[in-house]
Amino acid sequence: MDRPPAIDVHEVRAPPVVHDAGATLHPPIANCRHEAREIGAADACHGREWIRLMSRLLLLMLLCLGLPACERAQPAPRSGTDVVTLGNQGETTSTHERARIAPPPADYLSGTHWPTARLHDGAAWVSCTDDYAAQGDGRPVESLDFLVLVDTLSPCRDTGLLRLRYRGNIGPGFTALVERVGAIARRMDIRDRILDIDSTGGEVEEAIRAGDVIAGSQWAIWVRERSVCHSACVLVLAAGDTRSIAGKVGIHRLIRQQSRATTRRELSAELADITGQVRDYLARNGAASALADQMMTIPNRDLRVLTADELAGFGLSGTNAVQDDLDRITLMRQCGDDFVRRRDRFMRAFDSNCMKPGEGAEAMQACGHDLEQRFGFPDAHCAGRGALDQYAQRAGQALPLSGQSPPRGPRPGAATGAVD
């Protein structure tokens, strides 16, 4: 049987091909796939033609791969903008700090050259005392750069206490603020750290990031009178070692920014992932995961202010349960079971006998020292540690309810400039 004549790609001539869009395609490009079919149909069983045919086929394939008419459509580049879920009562947040192209290196805080970060949606101040009635909110945080923060926090080395006042939305700038201030405080051995917050909410993802930073940095959190902590801010509140609340704490539904949902099913699907993240976050910080379900029952435009009993029931006030267990485990390793049991009895007696409304700091301290002797403290078998040491620190970080005198510092709500 006669073989069909061999096709020489250099001899192929064809008129230009016009696409629907009106673009003219060069003939070799238009015919490249047609010629490949012709070559594939040739009798390749004869050895002397095999190499020649394969060479031509390879040439045509390379031609097709190298020209635009045969290229695959490339996927659209990612925008670099994170998905954002808002926990902010009917408000939007600014978009100029939305893009998180890449997180900073995990160990950047150990150095001195920090990536640029700014507070776009809030303002912060640092004070070295908890007496905000007499001393105000302290020195403004003008920059999140390393050297500026070192200069701002240096006076607090003498007092061993810093109070970080923050007023504004929860966003990337807030996360950078608590992360960096906590790192400098750790370097300076400033052990008493109070986050004095006033926020109507913000980005849920950033609240989780900031909360995880706070949970590992020994922060007490205050919501003083005439301050609020709403929506996404509640997640930040959950992370504190202690939570002292005299202002209003409120919750409502989360909402996806620029949502494309047109049905309830689509809206629920959008929020399913972040709701799961919120539940996991609350659980690891000793708060009730049921809080996430409660949030989803209140329209975003509304607000449910939690009562004192609800705050306690959801694990949002007082000592963080997870941190308290962790402290007990650490103390048990260091000082033994007997020390921990005696300290627990001391703490219960201190709460009932010494933490009385109207008692001043000196009276509470004297009452605590009397109780220490009754329960065998300081303990010579545990480096002379007293039961009041850690508990007094927590009591001093607490912001009492209205009408009670604080262990140290002023009555809450006396500060000026707080937001109603």
Q: What would the DSSP string read from start to end of 334-365?
A: HH-HHHHHHHHHHHHHHHHHT--TT--HHHHH
The answer, yes or no, to whether residue 287 has pLDDT greater than 90, is: yes
- CATH code linked to domain 85-320: 3.90.226.10
Mean pLDDT of the chain: 76
8 DSSP 8-state letter: P
Mean pLDDT to the nearest integer, 125-133: 92
Residue 160 has a CB neighbour count (10 Å cut-off) of 14
The answer, yes or no, to whether residue 386 has pLDDT greater than 70, is: yes
Query: Per-residue pLDDT tens for 339-374?
Result: 889 988 888 888 778 766 555 667 777 888 888 888
At 214 the pLDDT is: 96
Query: Per-residue pLDDT tens for 11-27?
Result: 444 444 444 444 444 44
Q: Can you say whether residue 359 is alpha, beta or left, with left for phi > 0 and alpha for psi between -120 and 50 degrees?
A: beta
Higher pLDDT, 189 or 133: 189
Q: Which of 9-13, 245-249, 272-276, 407-411 has the lowest mean pLDDT?
A: 407-411
At 266 the pLDDT is: 87
The answer, yes or no, to whether residue 145 has pLDDT greater than 80, is: yes
Cα–Cα distance for residue pair 252/204, rounded to 1 Å: 12
At 351 the pLDDT is: 75
Mean pLDDT to the nearest integer, 316-331: 88
Torsion of CA 404, 408, 414, 419, to 10 degrees: -100
Query: Per-residue pLDDT tens for 82-98?
Result: 556 776 655 554 544 44
Q: Residue for token digits 């009408």?
A: 403
Residue 68 binned pLDDT confidence (cut-offs 50, 70, 90): very low
Cα–Cα distance for residue pair 104/115, rounded to 1 Å: 7
Mean pLDDT to the nearest integer, 251-279: 87
Token pair of 260, please? Answer: 């494309």
Cα–Cα distance for residue pair 180/188, rounded to 1 Å: 12
Task: Give domain limits for the chain.
Answer: 9-70, 85-320, 323-397
The answer, yes or no, to whether residue 303 has pLDDT greater than 90, is: yes
The secondary structure of the chain in percent helix, strand, coil, rounded to multiples of 5, reads: 45, 15, 40
**Can you give the three-state secondary structure of 67-112, one letter per residue?**
CHHHCCCCCCCCCCECCCEEEECCCCCCCCCCECCCCCCCCHHHCC
- pTM assigned to the model: 0.68
Contact 297, 251 (CB under 8 A): no
Cα–Cα distance for residue pair 296/262, rounded to 1 Å: 18
237-269 b/e with 16+ CB inside 10 Å = b? Answer: bbbbbbbbbbbbbbbbbbbbbeeeeeeeeebee
Task: Let me know if 228 is exposed, middle or buried by CB neighbors in 10 A (0-12, 13-18, 19+).
Answer: buried
